[in-house]
Amino acid sequence: MASRSCLSIILAAGEGTRMKSALPKVLHKIAGLPMVAHVARSAEAAGAGDLALVIGHGADEMRKAAAKFAPRAESFVQDKRLGTAHAVLAARDAIARGYDDVLVMFGDTPLIEAGALTAAREKLAEGAAVVVLGFRTPNPTGYGRLIEADGKLAAIREEKDCSEQERRITFCNSGLMAIDGKHALKLLDAVGNANAKGEFYLTDIVAIAAAQGLDVFATEASFENALGINNRAELAEGEAIWQKRRRREAMLDGVTLVAPDTVFFAYDTEIGADAYIEPNVFFGPGVTVEGGAVIHAFSHIEGAEIGPGAEIGPFARLRPGADIAERAKIGNFCEVKKSTIEAGAKISHLSYIGDARVGADANIGAGTITCNYNGYTKSHTDIGRGAFIGSNSSLVAPVSIGDGGNVAAGSVITEDVPADALAFGRARQKTLPERGRMLRERLASAKKAAE
């Protein structure tokens, strides 16, 4: 397939009114990535070298989004919505460049797999002029039927036009097509609008191609590949299907998921073999987990790198920029943001580390916080190798603790601590005999008088 050039046209001009959202439908996300971006990634994986986005509603938002997930994509605006063939022809200038293959896809079918697209392209390479992607379902009500004869696709029949026998066909039209580039414009320009809605339907090219003696075939994929997302309920269904696929893939790659249905991945989550993931873990975008790491229950992780043998959680939060080295430990109710935690360092409980470096084998006591923000700017805290930070300490950035430095519990540290030094940053304790009892009596009397 590498020898054949390919253009992928993604139709993304629909308003998506059933989403009840100001955001264009295809920009709603599954696994942290807009639906249309999932489609673009599958097209790219199937060998589509160039991408054309046909946009309409929310065109500016679409262009901004496309600049991130498909920076080389061309955008074409469909000013009027006159049917699917009309939408494809909005990208006429791209089609006219003469690609070997033209894929027509929909921005709201995020579960399409590269394998299904590759199978359609292979049919084109074998001589087909048009290939329609179909699926089988025991309940075909509402779907157009694929009518085959002598191993070829003879027609796509909408349900309302089907005979009683044709309604029993379970092979249905997904809407996705692959078209031989040398025939594409001729077939599309031949589509008319002599129908009840006065629209130009892409499906008409099947009959047009057959009438011209061209070969038309249907390839089969799972129903999930063709699933279109039109509302929030279907968006959740699509998310569930995507997550199920990814969980299975992770487990087959050697990752242990104790309770798979409770673990949620992002589109780009990378997890190495022998990683161990406990229940109720959420991965946002940008996470890499090396082999042998353990992620305990109820942890929320995004934009983080976790080294081999590291231990995270339970109830830990890693925010963007967290870089956790091998054998490091981030314990329960700890938050790490934009910080490097070096090998063997331990942050075991109830701490916040932001904009910092924690040196190898350092120990951060419970309740420690790096005070990194003064209301206007953020500053760095540097904690050296083997340092010990006592519980309930506040490190006011910018500040550094040298290798082997020791900070006494309850300290507020505002000045650098040299290597191997011991620092106290707290008021001297003063004990007043009997004052506790006297204070209780005074407060009780005041309360009684107020009543």
Active site residues: 349
Q: Which element (helix H / strand E) includes 7?
A: strand 6-12
Residues linked to residue 34 through DSSP beta bridges, in sequence order: 29
**Residue 354 phi/psi, 5° resolution?**
-130, 140
Q: Is 178 helix (H, G, I), strand (E, B) or coil?
A: strand
CB count in 10 Å sphere of residue 46 = 24
User: How many angstroms separate the CA atoms of 389 and 381, rounded?
Assistant: 13
Alpha carbon 293 to its chain's center: 22
The alpha carbon dihedral of 148, 153, 158, 161 has a sign of negative
Are the C-beta atoms of 60 and 132 separated by less than 8 Å? no
d(CA 352, CA 63): 38
Residue that is written with structure tokens 């331990």 in the block: 346
Q: Which of 244, 285, 246 is nearest to 266 (CA)?
A: 285
Q: For the chain, how big is the Rg over CA atoms in Å?
A: 30
Please state, in angstroms and rounded to a whole number, the distance separating the CA atoms of residues 83 and 85.
Answer: 6
The two structure tokens encoding residue 342: 């070096």
Q: Write the DSSP assignment of 292-335 as a string of letters.
A: T-EE-TT-EE-S-EE-TT-EE-SS-EE-TT-EE-TT-EEEET-E
Cβ contacts of 18 within 8 Å, gap of 6 or more: 230, 231
Distance CA 82, CA 199 (A): 5
DSSP letter (8 states) at residue 254: T
What is the H or E stretch that residue 74 is in? Answer: strand 74-77
Query: Running DSSP on this structure, what letter comes out for residue 153?
Result: E
CA 443/CA 440 separation, integer angstroms: 5
Contact 106, 176 (CB under 8 A): yes
